[in-house]
């Protein structure tokens, strides 16, 4: 049996769902193929459940430190099964929008089976063939595990396994200090686990500006996380019911860390193993499918969106790419994807948000780089909230053009969007300073950082000479007027 479609979408995560729903709304005949459940990693094992845990951990931290706000702490207890139960309820509620029934009502033919390319224009699904003009591959990515001697024998979990834990580990070794590792390390430490975080980089979040990573390291350590920067996992053994990991740095110095459980968060790889891409002439590299500026693969009618492209592994980027891939797959006029301004946030507490270049990258690539900072300790709302750790850092080039924005602090994931919009629309940093911001809000941290642009201009030696001459002449005129008044 064969069915004809305008578009077949393979993968039911964010990119796939956006593509399928968008095509159906345009009147195209669409098939959506997903081997598991609609919703993907973000809904079941990524953004939604982890943010639910982050919230519970923040509440536990706030209760523990309530005395700082004049509220007497009479003791508290983290009910880990209840925390995980709430997480599952949040998943269920959020997942109502991603049900197969909803998409079928939109006019999408949903197949919960494996997909396999027979040719660029033919997909086999459970014994039937889907003939199609265009295809969008949106099969996402999955966790990878570094080669560590004895790790498989000792046992470990990735972030998916961590979300399925029934009991809170007394102690936990986290391998990898990227966003997933850093978030989980802080969350489990706040729940009461003894956490050791092993990082091959000297600072957590190695892709972030080092100044930001330095602040986050201090936050994690002060929150009870034992941070081992510059170390990699070498081998694991069992001893007395515990997992003992030997870690080693570049100088050959070894340490041992112990834990009831090991959480590996050390990288991801594209998910495409069962697609038979070679039958369609679609090339894949280590990080993802080979795509051009239109998100077209090496097959002229096959496009890709989301993690499978290997570009930016974020849900919001998957949604953005899906909209572009959909347009390009269905219509002859092609749109280029623009990854120049891509923001992201790590949801530690405080949050870490970033867009554009780090200071180091900017100085390598541009002339006339200036950096403007505002610590949250100088923002009235942050002081009132008792959340003064962190800063706003804006990196600019010539004529105040914003090259990058970096925030570590309360609600950083929301605050960064003002900088994102300014970058996208080429609004200079000075405009952030002259724009009225509500008082007292955290957003004033952006304004205060931008204020320094004008301060530097005002206190420039040349401008100081001009101002000095101007005020000197002004005072001279005033004296002449006074003399004229007295003579009169």
147 assigned to a ligand binding site: no
2, 84, 187, 234, 437 from 260: Cα distances, Å = 53, 19, 16, 18, 49
85 is in an annotated binding site: no
51 labeled part of a ligand binding site: yes
**Residue 139, marked binder:** yes
Closest CA to 234 of 245, 219, 222: 245
19 is in an annotated binding site: no
Evaluate the omega torsion of the peptide bond into residue 333 and state whether it is cis, within 30 degrees of 0.
Answer: no
433 in a known ligand binding site: no
**196 is annotated as contributing to ligand binding:** no
Residue 198 bridge partners (DSSP): 175, 228
Which neighbouring-strand residues pair with 142? 269
| Alpha-carbon gap, residue 287 to 387, rounded angstroms | 38
- Measuring CA to CA, which residue among 95, 100, 129 is closest to residue 115? 129
Any idea what the Cα angle at residue 94 is, between residues 93 and 99, rounded to 5°?
Answer: 95
Q: What is the DSSP string of 412-481?
A: HHHHHHHHHHHHHTT--HHHHHHS---TT-TTHHHHHHHHHHHHHHHTSHHHHHHHHHHHHHHHHHHHHH
Alpha carbons within 13 A on the beta-carbon side of 93: 9
201 is in an annotated binding site: no
Does 334 show up as a binding residue in the annotation?
no
Task: Please indicate if the annotation marks 183 as binding a ligand.
Answer: yes
Is 177 marked as binding a ligand?
yes
Say which DSSP state 308 is in. G
Q: Is residue 280 reached through a cis peptide bond, with omega within 30 degrees of 0 on the bond before it?
A: no
Residue 441 labeled ligand binder: no
* Pair 279, 112: CB distance under 8 Å: no
Tokens 């206190």, residue located: 459
**75 annotated to a ligand binding site:** no
182 is in an annotated binding site: yes
Give dist(CA 115, CA 1) in Å, integer: 15
32 and 108 Cβ atoms separated by less than 8 Å: yes
Evaluate whether 32 touches 324 at the Cβ level (below 8 Å). no
CA distances from 349 to 74, 233, 353, 413 (A): 24, 26, 11, 11
In 3-state terms, what secondary structure has residue 17?
helix
Phi, psi of 23 (to 5 degrees): -65, -40
| Nearby residues of 150 by Cβ (< 8 Å), 6 or more positions away | 235, 236, 237
> Known binding site: residues?
51, 139-141, 176-183, 267, 307
For the annotated binding site for NAD(+), the residues are 176-183, 267
Which residue numbers belong to the known binding site for FAD? 51, 139-141, 307
């Amino acid at each position: 049996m064969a069915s004809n479609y305008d578009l077949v979408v393979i993968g039911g995560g964010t990119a796939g769902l956006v593509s399928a729903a968008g095509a159906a709304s345009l009147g195209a005949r669409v098939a959506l193929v997903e081997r598991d459940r609609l919703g993907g990693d973000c809904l079941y094992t990524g953004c939604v459940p982890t943010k639910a845990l982050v919230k519970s951990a923040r509440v536990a931290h706030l209760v523990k430190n309530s005395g700082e706000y004049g509220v007497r702490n009479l003791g508290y207890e983290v009910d880990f099964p209840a925390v995980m139960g709430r997480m599952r309820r949040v998943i269920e509620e959020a997942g109502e929008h991603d049900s197969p029934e909803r998409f079928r009502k939109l006019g999408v033919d949903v197949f919960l089976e494996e997909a396999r390319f027979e040719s660029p224009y033919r997909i086999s699904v459970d014994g039937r063939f889907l003939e199609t003009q265009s295809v969008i591959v949106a099969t996402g990515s999955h966790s990878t595990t570094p080669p560590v001697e004895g790790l498989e024998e000792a046992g470990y979990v990735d972030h998916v396994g961590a979300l399925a834990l029934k009991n809170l580990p007394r102690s936990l070794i986290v391998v990898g200090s990227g966003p997933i590792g850093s978030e989980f390390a802080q969350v489990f430490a706040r729940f009461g686990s003894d956490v050791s975080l092993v990082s091959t980089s000297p600072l957590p979040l190695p892709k972030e500006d080092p100044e930001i990573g330095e602040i986050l390291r201090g936050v994690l350590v002060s929150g009870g996380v034992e941070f081992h920067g510059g170390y990699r996992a070498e081998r694991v053994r069992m001893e007395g019911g515990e997992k003992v990991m030997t870690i080693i740095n570049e100088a050959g110095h070894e340490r041992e860390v112990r834990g009831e459980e090991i959480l590996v968060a050390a990288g991801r790889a594209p998910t495409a193993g069962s697609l038979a891409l070679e039958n369609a002439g679609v090339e894949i590299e280590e990080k993802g499918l080979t795509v051009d500026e239109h998100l077209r693969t090496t097959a002229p009618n096959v496009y890709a969106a989301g993690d499978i492209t290997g570009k930016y592994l974020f849900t919001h980027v998957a949604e953005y790419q899906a909209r572009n891939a959909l347009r390009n797959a269905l219509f002859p006029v092609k749109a280029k994807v623009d990854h120049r301004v891509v923001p992201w946030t790590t949801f530690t507490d405080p949050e870490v948000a970033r867009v554009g270049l780090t200071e180091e990258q900017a100085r390598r690539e541009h002339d006339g780089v200036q950096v403007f900072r505002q610590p949250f300790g100088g923002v009235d709302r942050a002081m009132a909230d008792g959340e003064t750790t962190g800063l706003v850092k804006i990196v600019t080039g010539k004529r105040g053009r914003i090259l990058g924005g970096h925030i570590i602090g309360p609600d950083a994931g929301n605050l960064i969007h003002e900088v994102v919009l300014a970058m996208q629309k080429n609004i200079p940093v000075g405009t952030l300073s002259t724009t009225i911001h509500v008082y007292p809000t955290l957003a004033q941290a952006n304004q205060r950082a931008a204020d320094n642009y004008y301060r530097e201009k005002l206190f420039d030696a040349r401008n100081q000479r001009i101002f000095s001459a101007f005020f000197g002449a002004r005072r001279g005129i005033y004296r002449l007027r006074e003399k004229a008044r007295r003579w009169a």
